[in-house]
Every structure is written in C-alpha cells, then in structure tokens.
Structure 1
C-alpha cells in the first residue's frame, strides 16, 4: 500500500514538474515562435499561389515549395532550424495542453473534443516541424510526390482505397471546420483580442479571410483524394499543390487561385498576430 502511494506521489510530482515547464515563460515564448514560422510558411504558399494565378510560378504551392524558398534564401537554413525547433516546442506545448486540459475539462464530451482538437494541432505542427528540420538538414523532398506514392501504395487493395476515401473525407471535414471558424469568427476564442481598434480589426480581417481561404484550399485537397480513390488514379492525390493546379484549370481558375492565395497570405499574417495574442 505504501509503495502504491509512493508511486502516485511520484506521478503527481512528475505531472506538476511537466506542467511548470509547459507554463514557463521561456518555453512559452519559444513555442510562440512556432506560430510565426507557420505564418511565414502560409505567406510563402500564398505568394506562390498568387504567382501561379498569374501564370508565373513553377514552384510547388505547398509546404515543400515554401520551405524550399526559405532554404534558398541567405541564412535560410538557420531560419529553418530555428523555426523547426520552435514548432517542435509548440508541439510539446499542445501535447501538454492535451493532457492537462483534459484533466481540467468537465464532461466526457467536452473532454473528448478538447483532446481531439489539441492532438490534431500537435500533429499538424509536428508534420511541419519535421519537414522544416528535414529541409534545414538538406534532405527535403516533394511532399506532393510523397503523397502520390503513398496513395499508390494504398490503391492496391479495397481496404486501401477505402482508407484514401476516409482521408479525403477527414480533410474535407477539416476544410469545412476552417470555413465555419472563419465565417463565425470562432478563432477569436483562441486569442486575447487587444482593445486597440487597429490591431483588433487586423485580427478579425486576417482571421476571417484567412480561415475561409485555407478552408477552401483544404476542401480542394479532400476532393482530390476522393477523386483519386474513385478513379483509382493516385496521381490525382498530390496534396495542396495538385489541388490548386486543378483549380487553375477551372473556368475563372486564375481568379479562384488569386482569392485563395491572398487569403493564405492573410492567414499567415493572422498566425503571426496569434503568436503575440494567443494565451499560452
């Protein structure tokens, strides 16, 4: 009995230590840098998409294209290392928030929603952190090609094709969530919006338009996964860049890309503002 109590006390001490570390100002400030890096990536993707709309870009309009742009700039590798490590800290913060937030949240439904939401954010930032660090180390690759190759591996079986459809539906769901969050201004719950009119207005404008644009882009990605599964053509599942290329072929495709590109730039600006005003 005493050993069991000792184990419980030890676990509680570890938990308190982890919570103190997650709430330490230094760690929080490093994690905030992850929002800045995410914002930079979205701004670059938006810029590439805008050039694509004008017919003047051969770069991939996705994370690979954005990070390759950073890597090619003077001091770009250093920035990628810093950004990758900052996003890694942000991942750890979200994991801590998943655990401690679930303990503080009342109700099974609310607790489950909190866990799914924060774990999802940890996965997204984790993927971007790994990609950034790989580019910093000189081993980055085309994410669209990797997605297509992975999809091709799943197409060989009925279960694999169902998995591709499920992935497409999940991405469509995430896209709808972004559209809803932008239209309803639900992103304001993630921030301590300042009282200054100029900054508050900038947050609202960049948040609304940014979330709407990112949601539309994700809807395109999800539809491409579904199209790939139905047609048994993995080449169609090439991620964001492939979805934007398909949009470009639509009537008024240039206008659609211009709107999405501008929105992604605004989303990037919102992410930078979030680094300053998000509670940690």
Structure 2
C-alpha cells in the first residue's frame, strides 16, 4: 500500500515537472540566460582584444561580471543575469529528466540502437548545459552577495586541490585533455554549423547572415579558448606544477607571448565577442527543444 502511494506521488511529481518544463512562459523567461551569458562573452572578448594591443584587464568570467556590476543600475543588471542563467540551468535540468531530452519519453533508449544513442546524446547534452549555466549563475551569486572570487585564482586552487589527490596529476592531465577535446568539438561544430539544427531560421536575410557569421566565428573563438585552457592544464600536470593552470585569463594572456601572438589573441577575442552576440541572437531563435 505504502509502496503504491510512493509510486503514485512520484508519478504525479514527474507529471507536474513535465508540465513545468513544457510551459511556454518557463521557456520564455529562461531565454534571458542566453542574453546574460552573451553579455559576459562580449565583455570578455573585448577585454581580450584590449589586452592584446597592450592594455590591461582581467580576461576572466569574474572580470566580465565586474564590468557589468560597475554599470548604472549594476546590481539590478546582476540580479537579472543571475535569474536568467539560473532559470536556463533549471530549464535544461527539467528538459533532461522530464522534457524532450528525457530518456523516459517514448521510443527506444537502448544505446545499441541509433535512436537510443541520439536520445542519450540529447540527455547528456542537456545535463551539460544545465551544469554550465549553473556555474555562470553561481558566479553572479558571488557578486550579488558582495563576496565574489577571482575566477583565475579559483581555477588555480581547484587544480592544486585536484593535483594533491591520489593520482591527481593524472586526473589534472585528463581534465585538461578533456577540455581540449571539448574545444576541438566547438571548432568542428562551428565549421559544420551543427548549431543551426537547434535554431529557427530568421525571416530577415540580414539577421540570418549575422547569425551565421557570429555562430561560425564565435564557435571558433570559444573552442580555441577552451582548448588553450585545456592545454595549459595538461602542461601544468606534466610539469608537476598545478599552479600554472590559471584558467581563461592565464590561457589568453599566454597566447600573447606566442609567435604572432598579438594577432592570434585579437582574433580569439573577436571570436569570443561574436560568440556573445550569437548567444544574444540565440535567445530569440533557439527552438528550446
């Protein structure tokens, strides 16, 4: 009897969560998360270009959020960005377990079948996006509370903690290699324009062209940045000095020291800024499925 009641409560809760995940207003307000993340990338990209030509700046997520906080009505802007990214993270989480990306939906979820592999891919992608936007929301939380931490220092501390664990140097190298692969996937998706499958086609040819240019260039800029962070982490693990893994800021500023490093960093910075513009446009044209 109790077991049946528990099953019924769980079933009702799942049905309610499914209705929430599919509710059009939940989808609409969650789109603000794309805009918030886009603003962060635009500021980050512009700062990288400024650093490339000899200026000073913090090419980290925390540095970009600090710039937002310094604008008129900065606290209000931070709260809006926090709510947007948190809701988008929650929407992806609901979508993974109760929405179109759920493994509980109709059809086969057997990974040995093509449909099953596609559904597992959609499920894991939704979880990954939920985690990514939750991390961005967490960064905004720190600034709203007034106890924000430096992203680069946090990355270095996390690397040191990981490296000090049993087999930590190997784990740090694997984490760097994985991040490098993710960066490569971003670049490949930029060339193949896989993201077009997730967007509605704009009715305006000019907007459609802008979306394509920003998507291709933006995915490249984002991919190269992620790959650079991964390479820096892998090199730090190989040298046995985890403090060399300093996140995005360290990776971007290391590019400047390479041969042809200034034009490379300018190109990557422009790519990151265009990726931010792409995210802002995506808030309007993403199918949210």
| TM, length-normalised to structure 1 | 0.95
User: Corresponding residue for 1:127?
Assistant: 135
Q: Is the 8 A contact 2:163 2:171 kept in 1?
A: no
Once the two structures are superposed, residues 210-244 of structure 1 have per-residue CA deviations (whole angstroms, 9 ceiling, x without a partner) of 00111011110000000100011223200011001
Q: Which range moves more in the overlay, 173-182 or 195-204?
A: 195-204
User: Corresponding residue for 1:210?
Assistant: 218
Once the two structures are superposed, residues 161-217 of structure 1 have per-residue CA deviations (whole angstroms, 9 ceiling, x without a partner) of 111111101111110110011000001011112232111111111101100111011
User: Corresponding residue for 1:165?
Assistant: 173
User: Corresponding residue for 1:178?
Assistant: 186
Name the CA distance, whole Å, in 1 between partners of 2:58 and 2:104.
42
**Shift in Å, 1:3:** 4.8
Name the CA distance, whole Å, in 2 between partners of 1:262 and 1:94.
28
Q: Is the 8 A contact 1:46 1:260 kept in 2?
A: yes
**Shift in Å, 1:24:** 2.1
User: Corresponding residue for 1:254?
Assistant: 262
**Shift in Å, 1:23:** 2.2
Name the CA distance, whole Å, in 2 between partners of 1:29 and 1:111.
24
Name the CA distance, whole Å, in 2 between partners of 1:27 and 1:136.
23
Q: 2:204 aligns with which of 196, 200, 223?
A: 196
- State whether structure 2 residue 20 is matched by structure 1 residue 21: yes
Q: 2:31 aligns to what SS in structure 1? A: helix
Q: Which range moves more in the overlay, 223-232 or 161-170?
A: 161-170
Alignment gaps of 5+ in structure 1: none
Q: Is the 8 A contact 1:144 1:239 kept in 2?
A: yes
Name the CA distance, whole Å, in 1 between partners of 2:18 and 2:60.
35
Q: 1:155 aligns to what SS in structure 2? A: helix
User: Corresponding residue for 2:62?
Assistant: 64
User: Corresponding residue for 1:47?
Assistant: 46
Q: 2:148 aligns to what SS in structure 1? A: coil
Q: 1:251 aligns to what SS in structure 2? A: coil
User: Corresponding residue for 1:99?
Assistant: 97
Name the CA distance, whole Å, in 2 between partners of 1:239 and 1:41.
16
Q: Is the 8 A contact 1:78 1:136 kept in 2?
A: no
Task: Number of aligned residue pairs: give it.
Answer: 278
Name the CA distance, whole Å, in 1 between partners of 2:36 and 2:51.
23
Name the CA distance, whole Å, in 2 between partners of 1:274 and 1:146.
29
- State whether structure 2 residue 73 is matched by structure 1 residue 75: yes
**Shift in Å, 1:4:** 4.3
**Shift in Å, 1:86:** 1.2
Aligned alpha-carbon RMSD (Å)? 1.5
Alignment gaps of 5+ in structure 2: 112-116
User: Corresponding residue for 1:244?
Assistant: 252
Name the CA distance, whole Å, in 2 between partners of 1:172 and 1:136.
32
